[in-house]
Structure 1
Amino acid sequence: MSLPAPTPRNRAVVTGASSGIGAALAEGLAARGHSLILVARREERLRELAERLTERYRVQAEVRPCDLADREERAKLAADLASRDIAVLCNNAGFATYGPLSALTPERERLQVELDVVAVHELTLAVLPGMLERRAGAILVTGSTAGNQPGPNNTTYAASKAFANTFAESLHAELAGTGVCCTLLAPGPVRTEFTRAADVPALDRLVPGPLWVSAEQAARQAIAGMARGRRRVVPGPFAKVQTAGGQYTPRWITARLLRTAYGRLT
């Protein structure tokens, strides 16, 4: 088992915990008896979730409002986590943008890289030494099928998730035999507030409804995958098809298809 047993002292950290996959991951870990550190920008939502999980599962749930795209806020959180007994780290927070890169806001693109790439890297570096010293720990990185191929008109997000995917799978191999494991969660379309945050309502219509998976499904499979020490978890049949397509379809073909598909969104 690669998911450490919960203790009164250790904690499971979930970023992006205020909604979607993050909230579902927090609930799934609490159901297994893990006390939590919940991280997101929206403090009110975090407190509501913490109260519900504490009441339902009798675990402790610490609330840490933090904008992980902000370097100073992120550094404070990383320093705190480095000093704690962190059994599980779920690097889940992230957002996407759509449209021609030249037409997007440079500052928002930079923040996307800070959140989707740099925060994942820094928080992992903060908790990994302690996990290795204890020879116990589980790290989850929420990547995406978007990271399997070029994504024109979704350029920064596709590149960010390519980092997340490769980082997680590389670390998984590196940690073999240490008692610590890193698992990649690489979902396709998931029913969350993601499309609202991206401000692209048409994204919901790009994929037929039956092909979407719920946040609860994705989180349940992710936690089961961590517990089994899996390298990669791809929830849902459509995401598996996307993964295979990204691996075996010539990249010029997928780039052309996605350029057309995402170009219709904006």
Structure 2
Amino acid sequence: MRNSNKDGLAVVTGASSGIGAVYADRLAALGHPLLLIARRANRLEALAAQLQNQHNIDVETLALDLTSADDLRTLEERLESDNVEVLVNNAGGGGLGPLSSTNGDKMEALVRLNIVAATRLSQAALGGFRQRGKGTLINLGSIIAFWPSATAAVYSGTKNYILNFTRSVAMEFEDTDIRIQVVMPGPVRTEFFSSQGMSDSVFPDEYYITADQLVDAALAGLEQGEIVTNPTMEDPKIWEDMERARANYFASVSSGKVASRYLST
């Protein structure tokens, strides 16, 4: 990673499997000491032993539930006090299903994890980045941010938040050496669906990429200076067209006039 300080700690949330575990491996290969966060202590410990053996780096693990205010504060304090070089906000949940049949407590927990935790941890890391003049923040979004879904109302909303939050924060730091990126995966072969009692067959096989492919593409996008990385979008003109449409939308709603179709005749 360009401008990366190999003595700086890399922190990965949701690191016990899938995308988070691959990020941990890639950052370890670059020589970063690691702090790995997830709920499953046994999985974290096994991954830590593997990475220490393969890459000869220091790995610390913390079994935390980031929907818990106390556990979240524990990690915030580490981000504020340690020499953190990279934060990967990968921890997240899906909570798929119709809103009418969704348990309210589970819905709130999803918001706490996908929005509150990601926001507070980003803020904690960025404070240290600002003091040291550099650092890297990577937030995991999703293509569902652009695709309202009758069975993913809360999940879609949280990922739309992550997209706009990360892009807005990137604007704050655009004249610095602090790098900020939001990664927009589509379907990835992980435990995402099985952890919710669902099958990967919810999407056709050809829609999926592996976690390794996703992370390698995301890191390549980071090296290319992208703020928003769409790993499976072949033609970047599609994104450019969306950005132009967004600018046109904002210009059109800034007229200071009520649209004629809403005026009585």
TM-score range, shorter chain: 0.7 to 0.9
Alignment-mate amino acid for residue 169 of structure 1: R
**Cα displacement string for residues 199-255 of structure 1 (whole angstroms, at most 9, x for unaligned residues):** 222xx223221221100111112222233332111112489899799887xxxxxxx
Q: Distance in 2 between matches of 1:241 and 1:228?
A: 16
CA shift for structure 1 position 149: 3.1
What is aligned with 1:218? 214
CA shift for structure 1 position 23: 0.3
Alignment-mate amino acid for residue 203 of structure 2: V
Alignment-mate amino acid for residue 23 of structure 1: A
Say which is worse superposed, 216-225 or 41-50, in terms of deviation.
216-225
Relative contact order, higher structure (CA 8 A, sep 6+): 1
**Cα displacement string for residues 49-104 of structure 1 (whole angstroms, at most 9, x for unaligned residues):** 01100110111111011001111110111112210111000000011122221211
Give 3-state SS (helix, strand or coil) of 1:17's partner.
coil
Q: Distance in 2 between matches of 1:89 and 1:66?
A: 16
Whether the 8 Å contact between 1:14 and 1:25 is mirrored in structure 2 is yes
Q: 1:86 to 1:221 in 2, by over 3 A?
A: same
Say which is worse superposed, 238-247 or 186-195, in terms of deviation.
238-247
Give 3-state SS (helix, strand or coil) of 1:120's partner.
helix
Q: Distance in 1 between matches of 2:149 and 2:242?
A: 11
Q: Distance in 1 between matches of 2:15 and 2:87?
A: 12
Alignment partner of 1:230 out of 216, 222, 226: 226
Whether the 8 Å contact between 2:79 and 2:128 is mirrored in structure 1 is no
Say which is worse superposed, 228-237 or 119-128, in terms of deviation.
228-237
The residue correspondences of 1:82-231 to structure 2 (distance < 5 A) are: 82-201=80-199, 204-231=200-227
Q: 1:181 to 1:40 in 2, by over 3 A?
A: same
Alignment partner of 2:23 out of 25, 32, 50: 25
Q: Distance in 2 between matches of 1:229 and 1:244?
A: 15
Identity of aligned residues (%): 33
CA shift for structure 1 position 179: 1.0
Unmatched runs of 5 consecutive residues or more in structure 2: 246-265
Output the aligned Cα RMSD: 2.2
Give 3-state SS (helix, strand or coil) of 1:95's partner.
coil
Q: Distance in 1 between matches of 2:172 and 2:150?
A: 31
What is aligned with 1:79? 77
Alignment-mate amino acid for residue 6 of structure 2: P
Q: 1:152 to 1:132 in 2, by over 3 A?
A: same
Alignment-mate amino acid for residue 120 of structure 2: E
Q: 1:228 to 1:85 in 2, by over 3 A?
A: farther
Alignment-mate amino acid for residue 206 of structure 1: V
Give 3-state SS (helix, strand or coil) of 2:138's partner.
strand
Equivalent residue pairs, number: 244
What is aligned with 1:256? none
Whether the 8 Å contact between 1:68 and 1:115 is mirrored in structure 2 is yes
TM-score by length of 2: 0.86
The residue correspondences of 1:4-43 to structure 2 (distance < 5 A) are: 4-7=4-7, 10-43=8-41
Q: Distance in 2 between matches of 1:117 and 1:60?
A: 29
Unmatched runs of 5 consecutive residues or more in structure 1: 249-266
CA shift for structure 1 position 11: 0.4
